[in-house]
Amino acid sequence: MNSDASTELRHRTVEAPAGRLHLVEQGDGPLVLLVHGFPESWYSWRRQIPVLAAAGYRAVAIDVRGYGRSSKPEAPEAYRMLDLVEDNVAVVRALGEESAVVVGHDWGSNIASASALLHPEVFRAVGLLSVPYAPPGGPRPTGVFSQIGGPEQEFYVSYFQQAGRAEAEIEPDVRGWLAGFYAALSADTMPASGEPDPHFVSRAGGRLRDRFPTGVLPAWLSRDDLDFYAGEFERTGIIGALNRYRNMDRDWEDLAPHRGAPIKQPALFIGGAVDASTTWMADAIDAYSTTLPALTASHLLDGCGHWIQQERPDEVNRLLTDWLATLDAEALRRDRA
């Protein structure tokens, strides 16, 4: 075990295009940058950081701009994908590193894949959790999402587009909203097979939370964990997190020059078999031979929902450390050749 692996987590902030980015790190060795999704924080990686550190890596989990202790730019357009990618590059540089393996979950998976696509000289490999890689291109996103659910329901991405609307639902009771949101996508608390996914659609004129499970927490989420997440959003507000959704059309325009582009670095995908992200995007997973030509492995964990590294930390940790070890072995082989 690396001698630093047993030390406490180290909190620090670094300068980045966002202004300031908060990160938590542990361990020494090759840098592994961990990027969370919505609505989470660096804390989502609490069960991975010490394991990666013990395996000989410098594990660094960030608060994405708009979250936690990181800066929260005011302009909605400050949350476009290009800016989030540059934040990741700035973190690598601020830590004195030349390159990193980037691993992301949920929106963090999209941020990680865009980082690898746009800066292959910095991000030598990419790990994607829950949300598969789909190359830029296709129809304009908000147009597609507006058609989901039909006239009587509204898809959550469309629901999030109007500034202030979701904020008014969430911020009066952040803790309760988060509890329902997490439960809606966890394998042990999501609706039974065949029932509507309550998180993803609201009834016409209604709220998302009206269809959340109530009165139950997923097994992976303790009351202390929920208190931590709620405290972060009660302090910072939810608007920075929601502004990520409000830039999807800007991302579509910004990334148009990379339409259909594969990611050529070594890649890993881990998804939950009962996660809607993997069922909706099954075609993206099927296309990995073309879109991720250097894919090392793709795993679907039976009986696992969306919050994969928290629902199944031991399996995810094993898959991550095994994959990272193969990267190190391949790098050593190249060095000796």
* Active-site residue set: 106, 306
Determine the 3-state secondary structure of 139 from DSSP: coil
Q: Quickly list DSSP for 261-318.
A: PPP-S-EEEEEETT-HHHHHTHHHHHTHHHH-TTEEEEEEETT--S-HHHHSHHHHHH
Closest to 271 (Cα-Cα) out of 300, 296, 297: 300
Helices 174-184 and 223-236: crossing angle, nearest 10°? 120
Closest to 46 (Cα-Cα) out of 324, 319, 322, 316: 316
61 and 49 Cβ atoms separated by less than 8 Å: yes
Report the C-alpha gap between 163 and 161 in whole angstroms: 6
